[in-house]
């Protein structure tokens, strides 16, 4: 949205206190303060953005020359549909609002309010979807059960065989490989943001951090958003914390040649996402052993250049593991072909990625801990990171 010639970002919905919405005139609670952010993935970058719009001077450190962790290796999905009822869903819905508002100010993030279709190929999968429609939060997620013809009207690119589809109107997407650069560019233009790539965290000081060059970066507040690809001091900092590393395998095709107008999933995703998992475990037959071993599901998102990002797998990351196996991706490609059609383009490239997931009672949506005076570590959002990052950042500043 635009107001009086300024880009506008709404940062807090009722019943929380409503903040001013214009970036340059936001309630300057951090004016005159200095914020240091370590880590330039999506969680770190949104923390830098939220500090900046509240008036802070921001110094942003990143270990690599360019970010290369989970943020740039994912689908770019803003995935509301599968989130657990309660606090996790509320976090995702708030983040969905924030992503749309961020995109109104920084169009380069590539936000699309495209919704999603989970295609259903059996009576059991339809029953899982039907039960989801009966829950009190179904309207919040924008759920509808569509026939095959209705689903193809919303996404004519789906040329494969399926019986019906679950529509989620609140799902969306951003361009994950472009969003970080677009946000850094906008922040740099304010004159209050300094980006320092190639700086590895090697220690903490009171209200500050040390980088590998021996330089100290002090701030009134320091946020450590270092993700799961850890080394050196950062690895030691988290080695005894309740975090596990999850490894994914994904691929990208050559351009499809037609528009995939929604994000797409298949019924195997019901097994993975908490909103559906309980019903899926009781209603769906077990996957074949290899698919079960790697917890394979189909997710599919079209990039702005026309190629399709497809995946994914889930396995516990092992120290020293570096190779990827072909068979899991063969199963994913077959699943994508069954939904998109036999003209699925050839795979152009493939990769793996790792994210941190917090372990606990299930109530923890992500990991947050003060590790030194005015130094807070945030990680462990798991597969929710791209979806939830703006809302996680907002919670840091409330």
The model's pLDDT over 138-148, given as tens digits with 9 standing for 90+, comes to 999 999 999 99
Give the least confident one: 22-26, 84-88, 187-191: 22-26
Identify whether residues 177 and 151 lie together within a single domain: no
Residue 288, domain member (yes or no): yes
How many domains does the chain contain in total?
2
Alpha helices in the chain (DSSP H): 42-53, 87-105, 123-133, 138-141, 148-154, 176-188, 232-238, 269-272, 274-283, 289-293, 326-340, 385-397
- Assigned token pair, 44: 């770190």
Whether residue 3 lies inside any domain: the answer is no
Band (26; pLDDT cuts 50, 70, 90): low
CB contact at 8 A, 237 and 210: no
Q: Looking at the structure, tell me whether residues 193 and 109 fall in a common domain.
A: yes
Question: Global pTM?
Answer: 0.91
Rounded to an integer, the average pLDDT of 78-106 is 95
| pLDDT score of 28 | 78
74 and 216 within one domain:
yes
Residue 41 has pLDDT above 50, yes or no: yes
pLDDT tens per residue across span 58-88: 999 999 998 888 899 999 999 999 999 999 9
Q: Are residues 316 and 387 in the same domain?
A: no
CA-nearest of 182, 208, 190 to 57 is: 190
The answer to whether residues 168 and 142 touch, using CB atoms and an 8 Å cutoff, is yes
20 domain-assigned: no
Residues 75 and 203 in one domain: yes
Q: Read off the pLDDT of each residue in 119-147 and give the average, rounded to a whole number.
A: 98
Residue 123: which domain range?
116-169+243-358
CATH of the domain at 331: 3.30.9.10
Claim to verify: residue 373 and residue 301 sit in the same structural domain: no
Same domain, 339 and 267: yes
Q: Kindly report the CATH number assigned to the domain that includes residue 105.
A: 3.50.50.60
Could you tell me if 97 and 389 are in contact, meaning their C-beta atoms sit under 8 angstroms apart? no
Alpha-carbon span 213 to 200, nearest angstrom: 8
- Both 252 and 295 in a single domain? yes
Asked if residue 216 and residue 342 are part of one domain, the reply reads: no
Residue 18 in this model has a pLDDT that exceeds 90: no
Residue 22 lies in a domain: no
Give 359: exposed, middle or buried? Use CB within 10 Å, 0-12, 13-18, 19+.
middle
Q: Are residues 128 and 237 in the same domain?
A: no
Q: Is residue 7 part of a domain?
A: no
Nearest-CA neighbor of 357 among 271, 248, 246? 246
For 47, 187, 257, 307, 361, the CA distances from 58, given in Å and listed in that order, are 10, 9, 42, 35, 35
Least reliable range by pLDDT among 2-16, 70-84, 300-314, 315-329? 2-16
| 330 and 271 in a common domain | yes
Residue 362's CB: how many other CB atoms inside 10 A?
Answer: 10
Which string of DSSP letters, residue by residue, matches 364-376?
A: --SEEEEEETTEE
Is 370's pLDDT higher than 70? Answer: yes
Per-residue pLDDT of 252-276, as tens digits, reads: 999 999 999 999 999 999 999 999 9
Burial (Cβ within 10 Å: 0-12, 13-18, ≥19) of residue 351: middle
Residue 25 confidence (pLDDT) above 70: no
In a domain, 329, yes or no: yes
| Pair (143, 188) in one structural domain | no
Residue 179 lies in a domain: yes
């Amino acid at each position: 949205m635009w107001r009086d010639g300024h880009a506008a970002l709404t940062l807090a919905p009722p019943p929380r206190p409503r903040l001013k919405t214009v970036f340059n005139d936001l309630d300057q609670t951090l004016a005159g303060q200095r914020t240091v952010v370590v880590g330039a993935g999506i969680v770190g970058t949104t923390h830098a953005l939220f500090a900046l719009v509240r008036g802070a001077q921001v110094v942003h450190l990143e270990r690599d020359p360019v970010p290369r962790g989970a943020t740039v290796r994912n689908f770019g999905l803003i995935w509301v549909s599968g989130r657990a009822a309660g606090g996790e869903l509320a976090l995702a819905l708030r983040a969905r609002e924030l992503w749309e508002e961020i995109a109104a100010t920084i169009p380069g993030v590539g936000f699309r309010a495209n919704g999603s279709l989970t295609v259903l190929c059996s009576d059991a999968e339809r029953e899982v979807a039907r039960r989801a429609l009966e829950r009190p939060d179904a309207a919040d997620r924008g759920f509808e059960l569509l026939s095959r013809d209705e689903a193809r009207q919303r996404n004519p690119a789906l040329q494969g065989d399926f019986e019906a589809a679950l529509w989620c109107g609140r799902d969306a997407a951003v361009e994950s490989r472009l969003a970080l650069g677009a946000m850094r560019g906008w922040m740099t233009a304010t004159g209050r943001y300094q980006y320092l790539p190639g700086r590895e965290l090697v220690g903490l000081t009171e209200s500050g951090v040390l980088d590998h060059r021996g330089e100290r970066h002090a701030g009134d507040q320091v946020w450590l958003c270092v993700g799961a690809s850890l080394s050196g001091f950062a690895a030691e900092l988290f080695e005894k914390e309740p975090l596990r590393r999850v490894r994914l395998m994904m691929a990208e095709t050559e351009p499809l040649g037609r528009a995939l107008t929604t994000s797409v999933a298949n019924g195997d995703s019901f097994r993975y996402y908490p909103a559906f998992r309980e019903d899926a475990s009781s209603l769906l037959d077990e996957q074949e052993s290899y698919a079960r071993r790697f917890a394979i599901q189909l997710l599919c998102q079209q990039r702005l250049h026309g190629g399709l990002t497809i995946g994914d797998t889930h396995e516990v990351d092992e120290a020293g593991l570096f190779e990827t196996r072909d068979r899991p991706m063969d199963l994913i490609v077959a699943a994508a072909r069954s939904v998109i059609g036999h003209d699925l383009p050839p795979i152009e490239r493939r990769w793996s990625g790792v994210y941190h997931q917090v372990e606990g009672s299930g109530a923890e949506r992500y990991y947050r801990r003060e590790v030194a005076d005015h130094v807070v570590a945030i990680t462990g959002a798991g597969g929710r990171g791209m979806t939830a990052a703006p809302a996680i950042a907002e919670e840091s500043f409330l």
